[in-house]
Amino acid sequence: MTTPPNDDPELRRMMHDAVSDVHPEGGTHQIRSRAHGKRPSAARWVPLTLAAAVATVLVIGGAAWLGRLNGDVPAAGPGSTADPTAQGSAGSGRTVEVPVYYVGQTADGPRLFREDHTVPHAVGTDLQVAVQEALTAPPLDPDYESWPTSGLSVTTDSTNELIRIDLTGFKGATVGMNEADARMALQALVWTADAATSSALPVVFQVNGNPAGNVLATDTSLPVQRDGADSVLAPVSISDPMEGATVPTRFEVKGMAATFEANVVWELKQGGRVVRHGFATATECCTLSPFTFTVNAPPGDYTLVAHDTDPSNGEGVGLSQDTKRITVE
């Protein structure tokens, strides 16, 4: 058997507590005599005050009962959206993972390597955060190079047709920077912006709010297109694990390679000693395509190396490689 809605146990308790100390005195003849007699003293107002309290309890209890009946949630209170302390401090941002491209040296000259950065307290779009990281955050891998100038901030936006990057504080060409390095540094921003927006849009560069005709000794009077992967990305790169990662004793390695006969050579080193080694094959020959292999190793600190092969037996341009310092636990 269910309890009738108007027989709520909690409501009965609230009413009982409110009136338990009320003891009315006299009958109707005393009430009539008081009505025609003197103004009652302050003590005689106590029953009226208590009656008002009873009415208040009835209103509060009724509202609570109605709220439970309708399934309503209180509009305010600790932990509710109306409680400002429950929402966190304004402007605290969010944690976001963004792609960032850096320049590194290979046997083919300067090329781009990708890192995925986790940025806490990020404010702005993923595009804004990613390009700001490319400009100001040092790479996780010390083999890569930071953006060639410092003290910059950036504003970005994008449409369905292009991306705009405004470099605030940029002074112009960097002294002593050759054309190949300058081109790759600029492409690092273009590839970062496109990866952050999952697009292949051209990038318009501005400096301090004005159109930029030249950035890092590179013509930017027109929107800068993203160059092809085989011409700007590293011929061998490790994408997982990242630099400084901790991995189990059996772990998988992932990367990209454009190598002769799709061959990828790998070693796990401690100092100059090779602890483990092997071969992997990319999914395609001679164009950037993914590769994977599995390593088993005892706990310790290592350097993981992946590189291509030299079909000329030392007479060609040499080896291109990527390295990651990791800890096996």
Contact 282, 306 (CB under 8 A): no
Contact 121, 92 (CB under 8 A): yes
In the chain, the amino acid numbered 92 is S
pLDDT of residue 73: 31
Q: Where are the domains of the chain?
A: 41-231, 236-328
Class (C level, CATH) for 236-328: mainly beta
- Give the pLDDT mean for 169-189: 85
**pLDDT tens for residues 205-244?**
999 999 999 999 889 999 999 999 999 999 999 999 999 9
pLDDT band at 171 (very low <50, low <70, confident <90, very high): confident
- Whether the CA torsion 103, 106, 110, 113 is positive or negative: it is negative
pLDDT band at 65 (very low <50, low <70, confident <90, very high): very low
Q: Taking the model in full, what pTM does it have? A: 0.71
CA distances from 169 to 9, 180, 208, 314 (A): 70, 23, 7, 45
Residue where the block lists tokens 């000693």 = 273
Residue where the block lists tokens 């309503």 = 72
CA distances from 83 to 71, 75, 79, 92, 248 (A): 20, 9, 6, 17, 44
